Structure 1
Amino acid sequence: MTTPQPADALSRLAPNYHPLPVTLVSGENARVRDADGREYIDMLAGYSALNFGHRHPALVAAAHDQLDRLTLTSRAFGHDLLEPFATALAALAAPALAAPHPLVLPMNTGAEAVETAVKAARKWGYEVKGVPHDRATIVVAAGNFHGRTTTIVSFSTDEDARRHFGPFTPGFRIVPFGDAQALDDAVDETTVAVLLEPIQGEAGVIVPPPDYLGAVRRICDSAGALFVADEIQSGLGRTGTTFACELWAVRPDLMTLGKALGGGILPVSAVVGSAEVLGVLTAGTHGSTFGGNPLACAVGLAVIELLRGGTHQARARDLGATLHERLGGLVADGALAAARGVGLWAGLDVPPGRGSGRQLCEDLATRGVLAKDTHGSTIRLAPPLTIPRADLDLALDRLTDALG
């Protein structure tokens, strides 16, 4: 068998990414610089990991202070920020959750949070709901993106994510996103959870029908199943609300959080929700050496403080109105085939004959704007919630020029 070689013979990186030809060396808020000193407006924000921009002063200060004190204990011991972090995150999330007095289980990456939620839902299903051993099922949506572990790609519909990674983990049923009837038909007595992104990010910022999440909640209640909302990309202010589910006043049993929870400084994730569910994960049944480490908790606490007053959520609503008005104009002019989204988050479809999403992102990079394509003709925009209005307008001007 021939071993694939990196495109650049000098590179020692495995070729699991196809980045734009930009090498970044510094950044502040929505602006970054490359190795040649050229400046760009960051309209991707690390897929929502940089909701508060590059090097937000409060987040950098929290990290610096904690670096001088303690960075890791493992969960073999406690530390002085673990309970304060859990308490603050539980308080932030509680109004958006179905159960009062939620618990917090800290992890590192978003995929770990989703894996944790899957394990907790299954264990709850066996020990509380009474599903027969090894019969638990979880219903998910086509077009989903919840990570790239072996279990998670088992229920992906993206062939790039699945191909040649089997055999796959059983126990998942896939239904069309936004189709409540199909979801209802897939749920039965073995169903322990429905796992969904409230808005599908990787699929191209797909917003569901207005009555969909409410129907999901009713179906779960009727079947005695959990509703697990993956808010890793959509949560923490991106949509103009603290959590996307709040757009429809729907309260899940569990939420998975990540990306922006680490402030763009380090990986921080968590599952937040029902004490009855997360309480089944007793000592020895699940864990993480770095989950809830002191540095992560220090940054996470600072992120929660930024969100507490609602200023960033309001800013996402305000600037989001400008974003979607401008994008709607490009659709009306025929420069875009479609644009959709909410808050400071949008998916754009390039019209046939105008090149691929990748080509548009390359054209934008030459104009000093960074974005990323997904699925052929679609690109995503997710600027920092802290982006100055002038930078947002300038980036949209350059997008208009690139589409001209």
Structure 2
Amino acid sequence: MNGEILLVFGLLLATILLFVSDRLRMDIVAILAVLALMLSGLLTPKEALAGFGDPLVVLIAGLFVIGEGLFRTGVAFAIGNWLLGVAGSSETRLLVLLMLVVAGLSAFMSNTGAVAVFIPVALNLSAKAGVPATRLLMPMAFAGSLGGMLTLIGTPPNLVVSNQLSRAGMQAFNFFSFTPLGLLILVATIIFIVLLGRFLLPKEGDPGGHSRDRLSLDDLISAYAIKDRLFRLRIESGSPLIGQTLGQALLRSRFGVIVVAVRRPSRGDAPVRPALVSTEYRAGDILYLVGTEQRLGELLRAVEGLQRLSAEAQQRQIIARELGLAEVLLTPRSQLVGQTIREAHFRERFGLSVLGILRMGKPMKGDFLATRLDFGDSLLVGGGWRQIDLLQAEQGDFSVLTLPREMDEVAPHRQRAPWALAIVAGMLALMTFNVVPSVTA
């Protein structure tokens, strides 16, 4: 055995030890291994970097993009809600369905990406079904790995061996060559988990995992005493509000209601936008307001062409999906200290409305917008989720104290879900019938 072979085995052993020790990220270990082979002279720079130009690398990266698209359009969470509806309160049915869906998804995209997409879904299912998260996450991880055995693109090793067959002049595997054996192994694993494996899973743990520690939307609006004060109205054709700006309509001073945000329906994505003084009302606009039932009634009686939306039981689900809420804490050096909300022009600066103030742990009542802010005050702010995301980068005047756990379910491009499904279906069709190479599909 010559020195070069010993060097290769040494580098391989060092790489394996680094992978096992988990002291460095796997991608860093892989790059270090390539660098070591290049510096040792075992590979030329061209040979060492040749793998980055392989279509397989582009294909795997593309599968991660597909997974992110399913997450951002809300497709993954829609599947999770369907799972909960079908499984009900049965842990066994939930396990079987979750494993089947994750395996099915990982058959057509990176199994790592499929599992990553479903982690927040599984935590959400855990919280709603009252099942410890550990009892769902481990079987889900198994299913993600097994799903890679179902199709050619399910996992990189399948693509690697098929690619090598093609290079050797032999017939490569087709899209479903792995399916019969992979399906058999998947079914056997699910049977094992249901009959025996689930009794070996940890029984302790808080349902919902770490996300359970975070306050929910209901917790936040209850703490600020606005639980029954969140409403949605739609501006109908002929309303006198049409053409007026928020500053001209003066709904807060006239009726005591705060317009938090506006959603303007359109053919494409219609996100919730912050309600600014210059925002002009149009027919079809959906207004998100905070106020009392009495003041809302006065508004509806005085202003024609306003339709109240949703039953009370549905309102908070809609708000969780479309309207962002966050709790922020004023810092000692905040420029907002000593100013009122109006004087600080909070809405104009941050694109968010202040819905309530906590001082010494108690919610302020009355016209809190005219109250001078003090260090330690907590503000409940509302607006679009995009504005909430931007708020997290703000470090001068306040720090973000609480984001409701419903934020994990927010899909910033929910309106594009049909497009995402159509793109995935088109990709699968092109791969299945070998119309174009897999990387092109």
Range of TM-score over shorter length: under 0.3
TM-score (ref. length: structure 1): 0.24
Greater Rg, structure 1 or structure 2? 2
Q: Which has the higher strand share?
A: 1
Q: Which has the higher helix share?
A: 2
TM-score (ref. length: structure 2): 0.23
RCO greater where, 1 or 2, for CA within 8 Å and sep 6 or more?
A: 1
